[in-house]
Structure 1
Amino acid sequence: MTDYANLFRLDGKHAVVVGAGSGIGREAALALAAQGARVTAADRDLPAASQTAALGTELTAYELDVLDEQAVFQAARDLGDVDILIFTAATNVRKRLLDYTGGEFDRVVALNLRASFDLVRAFGAPMAARGRGSIVGFSSIRATTVEPGQSVYAATKAGLVQLLRTAAAELGPNGVRVNAIAPGVVETPLTAQIKADPSWYDAYAQKSALRRWATPDELAGAVVYLASDASTFVTGSVLHVDGGWTAIDGRFDPPN
């Protein structure tokens, strides 16, 4: 009989959260630890990761630059048995497509897509060998809904969804689940440029059904769900946590 009282507990599990130094990654690390997981808070910024680790119990900081392929595979070896991999690191260059440079394209693709590819390979292989594991990558509503200035970011987030779906298909027979979370607008360092512009900030707030932005902690529940036994038959899925943004089309409210 299923123990529903402990459905979301992660006792005895080892979780690695990449991008845990701030924003969604930090909240994900804290939430997983609160459910009993032993959490490695990995980030390129070791002091930031250490700050995250100091906020809870069973958290350890680890310096990791995901742009370094060798470092990613070394991390998978260093950290031993990993049951849960969460990765949130991303970058964006907000610029119209015709104004983009090749260097900017390469920079966004390298972090948003290539690094994800390396993380899935490095940590997915030992998970498959052990016959268990959960991998969760952060996509975006921009994987399906775009706006001017988001071309390369949107392309990488759409590509990430298909990368993770393929990983779900290939690793599923070995007991490894792979899913994506697609946030809407969240108050993180990545969206600081928008938040600093009141008109832009308010326009985004009005686009969702809830008429507001999310805070990073509001993504943590989705992370815990996909990491835990509450989602044992969920793989190859995209969980939108967007306040209803992608459910809405149009701006007109009909009269009563």
Structure 2
Amino acid sequence: MAQSVKALFDLSERKAVVVGGGSGLGQAGALALAEFGAHVVVGDFNMAAAEETVRQITAAGGTGQACELDVTSTDAVTAAAAEHSDAEVLVITPGYNARKRLLNTTDEDFDKVIDVNLKGTYRLMRAFGATMAGRGKGSIITFASFRALVVEPGQGIYAAAKAGVVQLTKTMATELGTAGVRVNALLPGAFETPLTRQIKDDPQWWSAYEQKSPLKRWGQPHELAGAIVFLACDASSFVTGSSMLVDGGWMANDGRFEPKV
């Protein structure tokens, strides 16, 4: 008898660790995973923000717990992986961007962007990947960006870091596949989050992003939640090493002109 497709989305009895779950896309993912039955550990550098996400989870009837976590600390990441060694899902959302043209950047800019986006992802994948491989199952969801594929002036270091996340994701997928661990990257497009506040504060910049997308608008965090749930659950059991765009069609459209044909 074929397995129920609906049942494939059930995350009951599973623990999901959502890093960066205190706000933005991470918070949306944490709420969605809890709605599908997962016990969600909300990890965030901002403990108050993590606790607020847990409050929303429990208010909706789910279960969760907050965890203060700094992705730039190897010791903190290692300790979190040990404490939550039974986690079957890991979602890695933290991001940091220094929007400057390369000639105006500093070594400090480079180091921080790489440490949070690329090395932070590496630390988490390494630590949780080991525990998942030891248990023979797991799903790791990294957050890259459409900027891993296409850039604009001022996004160079961030784009390089996110391109690195894509390659780390593919590598770990190939290395842990036989251990029962799937690893996939989400590539969000233009979403309205705290990370894009700088763009929102510039009406011309904000509007240009709206007009580039075929949908002619920015994405909202909840519109990424379904992709997170899909990659976390058994509905995606044959999906690994993928880079999934959730970009409102940005990469499908060159955005120059709409001819009257």
TM range (shorter): over 0.9
**1:7-66, CA deviations, whole angstroms, 9 ceiling, x for partnerless residues?**
211011100000011001111000000000010001010010000000012011111111
Alignment of 1:19-38 (within 5 A): 19-38=20-39
Q: 1:211 aligns with which of 209, 213, 216?
A: 216
Give the match's secondary structure for 2:216.
coil
Alignment of 1:138-177 (within 5 A): 138-177=143-182
Partner of 2:139: 134
| Code of the aligned partner of 2:212 | K
Partner of 2:103: 98
Q: Does structure 1 retain, via aligned residues, the 8 Å contact 2:212–2:255? A: no
Partner of 1:72: 77
Partner of 1:42: 43
Partner of 1:196: 201
Q: Does structure 1 retain, via aligned residues, the 8 Å contact 2:85–2:128? A: no
Give the match's secondary structure for 2:174.
helix
Q: 1:227 aligns with which of 229, 232, 241?
A: 232
| Code of the aligned partner of 1:15 | A
Partner of 2:242: 237
Alpha-carbon distance, 1:5 to partner:
2.3
Q: 2:93 aligns with which of 88, 93, 100?
A: 88
Alpha-carbon distance, 1:250 to partner:
4.2
| Code of the aligned partner of 1:214 | G
Paired residues, what number?
A: 256
Identity %: 54
- Residue ranges of structure 1 left out of the alignment (5+ in a row): none
CA distance in 2, matches of 1:105, 1:166: 23
CA distance in 1, matches of 2:191, 2:70: 23
Q: Say what the alpha-carbon RMSD is for the aligned residues.
A: 0.7
Partner of 2:126: 121
Give the match's secondary structure for 2:18.
strand
Partner of 1:4: 5
CA distance in 1, matches of 2:226, 2:212: 23
- Residue ranges of structure 2 left out of the alignment (5+ in a row): none
CA distance in 1, matches of 2:9, 2:255: 37
Partner of 1:55: 56
**1:206-245, CA deviations, whole angstroms, 9 ceiling, x for partnerless residues?**
1111111000111100000000011000000011000000
TM-score relative to the length of structure 2: 0.97
**1:185-216, CA deviations, whole angstroms, 9 ceiling, x for partnerless residues?**
11100000101111111100111111110001
CA distance in 2, matches of 1:10, 1:37: 5
Alpha-carbon distance, 1:253 to partner:
1.2
TM-score relative to the length of structure 1: 0.99
| Code of the aligned partner of 1:152 | I
| Code of the aligned partner of 2:203 | P
CA distance in 2, matches of 1:60, 1:209: 39
CA distance in 2, matches of 1:179, 1:207: 26
| Code of the aligned partner of 1:204 | Y
CA distance in 2, matches of 1:130, 1:78: 14
